[in-house]
Amino acid sequence: MIDKTAIIDSSAKIGSNVHIGPYSVIGPNVEIGEGTWIGPHVVIQGPARIGRENKIFQFSSIGEMPQDLKFKGEETYLEIGDRNVIREFCTINRGTIQDKSITKIGNDNLFMAYVHVAHDCEIGNHTIFSNNASLAGHAVIEDYVTLGGFSGVFQRCRVGMHSFIATNSVVIKDVPPYVKVSGYYAKPFGLNTVGLQRRGFVEETISQLRRAYKVVYRNGLTVAKAIEELQKMESPEINQLIQFIETSSVGIVR
C-alpha cells in the first residue's frame, strides 16, 4: 500500500494498513499509526507522531520546522491523534523550545484546504477549520470549536469549547466557551445556539447559558463583577465559563 515512488526514511515507523501515495515523502523520526491514508505529494517531517486512521490529502506539509526566527534547529515535536482529516495544502508546524516544544492535535478534527497551524498550538477534539483558517503560534483551540473560512487567531489566544468564529474574523483576545464571535477584530455576537443544539445540549442548559452571556456582555458589568454574578448560577457549564475567564492571560473578547 506504499507507492513505489514514495520516499520513506529508514527511521520512519509505518503501521499496518497504511496507504502512502505517489511521490510523498516521509522523513526521519516519523511514526504513522495503522489505517492512516496519505495521498500523493504529501511531505511529513519529524520528529512527529501521527495516530490511527487519519486522512492526509495531497500537497500538505506536516511537521515542518516552525516559522519562527528564534528557531535554531532544536529538536521539537508534532503530535496528531486519530481520525483527523487534513485536506489539500494544509501546513502544520512543529513546536519551539520557547514553549513546550510540541504542537499537539487531538482526535476527529477536520482541517479544510489551506489551513495553517503554527508552532506550539494545541487543538482539542471534534473541531472544524474551514478553508484558509489560520492559527498563529501558541494558540489553544478547545473541543468542538468551529472556525469560519479565512478566520485568524492571534498568538497565545485561547478559543473555548463549543464556540464559533465567523468567516473573515480576526481573534486577538480569548473567546469564552459557547460564544459566537465575528468581525475584524472579533467581537461577541451572542451564544452559539445552533452549535449547542446540534451537540445535544438541552434547552434548560442553553437558557442558562443565555443568561450567563447577558451577565458577561449585556449588563454593563466589569469582568470581576460578572464573575461574581456567574458564581450564583450553579452548573458544570457555568463553572467551565468562570474558570476560562479567570484563567485568561490576554483578556476575553468584549
Residue 119: active-site member: yes
Of 119, 138, 148, 162, the catalytic one is 119
Distances (CA, A) of 247 to 80, 84, 241: 26, 29, 10
The string of DSSP letters for 199-244 reads TT--HHHHHHHHHHHHHHHTS---HHHHHHHHTTS-SHHHHHHHHH
Q: How far, rounded to the nearest angstrom, does the alpha carbon of residue 80 sit from its chain's CA centroid?
A: 11
In the set 46, 51, 106, 137, the catalytic residue is 137
Among candidate residues 46, 51, 120, 148, the one labeled active-site is 120
The answer to whether residue 73 is catalytic is no
Q: How far apart are the first and last CA of the chain?
A: 51
Residue type, 104: K
Is 144 in contact with 164 (CB distance < 8 Å)? no
Active site residue 162: no
Cβ(114)–Cβ(120) below 8 Å: no
In whole angstroms, give the CA distance from residue 143 to residue 224.
Answer: 26
Active site residue ranges: 119-120, 137
